[in-house]
Amino acid sequence: MSDRAENLILALPGLLLLAVAFFVPIAQMLLLSVQGEEGLTLANFTRFLGDPYYLGVLWRTVRLSLLITAICALIGFPLAYIMARIGPRMRLWLIVLVILPLMTSVVVRTFGWMVLLGRSGLVPDILRSLGLAGRNFSIMQTESAIVIGMVQVLLPFMTLSILGVVSRIDTRLEEAARTMGCGFGATLRTVVLPLALPGIVAGSLLCFTLSASSFVTPNLLGGSRIQVLAASIYRSVTQTLDWPFAAAQAVILFVGVLLILVPYARLGGGTR
Amino acid sequence: MADVRLHQIKKSFGSVEVLHGISLDIASGEFISLLGASGCGKTTLLRIVAGLEGATEGRVELGGQDVTGLPPEKRDIAMMFQSYALLPHLSVGENVRFPLRMRGIGTKAEQRERVAEALETVQLGHLAERKISQLSGGQQQRIALARAIVSKPKVLLLDEPLSNLDARLREDMQVELIEIHRRLGLTTIFVTHDQEEALSLSDRIVLLNKGKVEQEGAPDEIYSNPATPFASSFLGASNLLPATVRHSGGTAIAELEDGQTIALPADTAEGACTLALRQEDITLSDEGDARLTAEVATRVYLGARSRYILRLAGQELRVLTGTTPTHEVGSRVGLEFDPDRIRILPPETDKTSKDT
């Protein structure tokens, strides 16, 4: 048997699983999205793209996802660097601490944020007593609430992606940079950051896809007025029962994410 | 260029003290080697000079300025690492330009000129555009050297820079290092465990043993007059024989542990001592009327020469001779040597010091 055939056989179970679990539903979704009452139609797409409300939902989804990803990277990079450079004992504790939120249900975590951020919650209370906010101040039902909740959910993905790369960077490179005139900050900027880029890119891809398609957290923290695309799809499916329109929205989300991810993944691959 | 002064440097890691108060004056433009076995603290000492490690006690001065508390980037030094530590995300040219860029030396055009000059010095001017991963080990080593000299630092620190190269490349690089040092005249501190490298490169050798200076001096001085058994065995692989010196009838006699005797100069002090004899200073003869005999344990054929391992008074003795005549393993041979070549050293206090 040739190597090629052998490889193919080895890959077959995985490919089959992918085909059944991923490509079939995608194909079904594509079909559903162009089904009209009399044959094929693009009406669902024109309806979405012609409606400022839905365009606003799309734009909000992309904007919030980018913001969440950026914040995750800003927090995740220093955190991962500290975890990589600190002793093995402390690193273990930090990893546990970072992963811990993943071990509770998204719903429970989100309810936790609702308690903290709601009108009589801890955070607005403190802000009010510090005189930084008015009497009716609440973070709930705002985009800020969505960002705060999502960052907490997605931070582990970003941190662990970067940690994997940073812990493989030879510390002697940093020492060498120090002997060549770099202060600590300059060393981080000119040596660690460029070498950690593949990890940051990988983490960003994860964060962006997950936050663009997330539904529970934005829905609960943002409320029904501040809708993101995934929540809008959910409403089409469960409330208006307009499945073709839901499928069209899903396709738009899918294509939108791909359009952003493919060039970005190229960027990450090129620096390796 | 500047002189380096180390004053009573002590360093502890946790409760373990690895440097026990080292003082060293290095003149401007001098090439000095820190020689010692692994674990003797030589690299730690170099890192303290670089500022990568803080001294627990003591003072470091560069060019008359106390830099003990300064971080590495504030010291005008350059260091070449054993692993070279080239930055993989930058091109060869950018790697060499890095210290100039970070220290803000010169305009862009001047920097480009100095990079080209440094690359020319190590004969790799044509590789400036390459990626680091495309270089061979020997080329990486030269680029690391170019990067270390490009900023013309006050002090050049070299941490076992040749140990990852194969024998031929290493010899070539030794010659090149000597030439570069002569041309640029940089104060250089060179860390090595290889006595040959230290002997051939340096103006002065500082022999370190267990965090202390065992002996320091010019290469020929330290080679021909080792002060301690450790120095003697580390430099030039001397044979060490414990003996007791007695005076009788105006001559001094050294008695070995198996009862054989060697005549020594009459002014040798009485008492326990260690006799040191270099392997190239001994010739072998048939047992016959030789005054000292030993048993052949092993013969190693080296091409131009043979090395014999002999057993004498419970000690192993190494002898380097011509290939003829051959002596059979197990036979007894006579040892011939010029009595003046024997050096009498204090008795070995710590047997393990040879192996650490």
CB A182 within 8 A of CB B102: yes
| Strand A39-40, strand A35-36: pairing | antiparallel
Return d(Cα A102, Cα A91) in angstroms, integer.
18
The ipTM, to two decimals, is 0.79
pLDDT 10s digits, B282-296? 888 877 667 788 888
One DSSP character per residue, B103-140 reads HT-S-HHHHHHHHHHHHHHTT-GGGTTSBGGGS-HHHH
Q: Considering only CA atoms, which of B316, B273, B278 is closest in space to residue B294?
A: B316
User: Is the confidence at residue A80, as pLDDT, over 90?
Assistant: yes
Q: Does A193 touch chain B (CB under 8 A)?
A: no
DSSP reduced 3-state for B178: helix
pLDDT range class, residue A128, cuts 50, 70, 90: confident
pLDDT 10s digits, B61-74? 999 999 999 999 99
Which string of b and e fits A85-108 if b means at least 16 CB within 10 Å? Answer: eeeeeebeebeeebeebeeeebee
Helices (runs of H) and strands (runs of E) counted in chain A: 14, 2
Structural domains present in chain A: 41-266 (1.10.3720.10)
Distance from CA of A271 to the nearest CA of B (A): 8
8 Å CB contact of B78 and A179: yes
Q: Does A179 touch chain B (CB under 8 A)?
A: yes
pLDDT range class, residue B354, cuts 50, 70, 90: very low
Contacts of B208 (CB under 8 A, 6+ apart): B22, B34, B35, B36, B40, B41, B42, B45, B214
Average pLDDT, chain A: 90
Which residue of B73, B81, B85 is in closest CB contact with A181? B73
User: Is the confidence at residue A269, as pLDDT, over 70?
Assistant: no
Which residue of B50, B71, B87 is in closest CB contact with A173? B87
Which positions in chain A touch B85 (Cβ < 8 Å)? Answer: 170, 172-173, 175-176
Torsion over CA of B14, B15, B16 and B20, rounded to 10 degrees? Answer: 110
Residue for token pair 């995300």? B89
Q: Considering only CA atoms, which of A148, A100, A184 is closest in space to residue B52?
A: A184
**Angle (nearest 5°) at CA B147 between B141 and B151:** 150
pLDDT range class, residue B13, cuts 50, 70, 90: very high
Return d(Cα B327, Cα B321) in angstroms, integer.
11
Considering chain B, what percentage of its residues have pLDDT values greater than 90?
49
8 Å CB contact of A175 and B88: no
CB B84 within 8 A of CB B92: no
Return d(Cα B184, Cα B176) in angstroms, integer.
12
DSSP state of A170: -
Contacts of B289 (CB under 8 A, 6+ apart): B334
Distance of CA A132 to the CA centre of its chain: 31
The mean pLDDT of B112-127, rounded to a whole number, is 92
Distance from CA of B57 to the nearest CA of A (A): 22
Distance of CA A32 to the CA centre of its chain: 27
Sheet containing B332-336: give its strands across. Answer: B283-286, B332-336, B293-301, B306-312, B315-321
8 Å CB contact of A271 and B89: yes
CB B9 within 8 A of CB B45: yes
List phi, psi (to 5°) of A137: -65, 135
User: Which token pair is A37?
Assistant: 């009452």
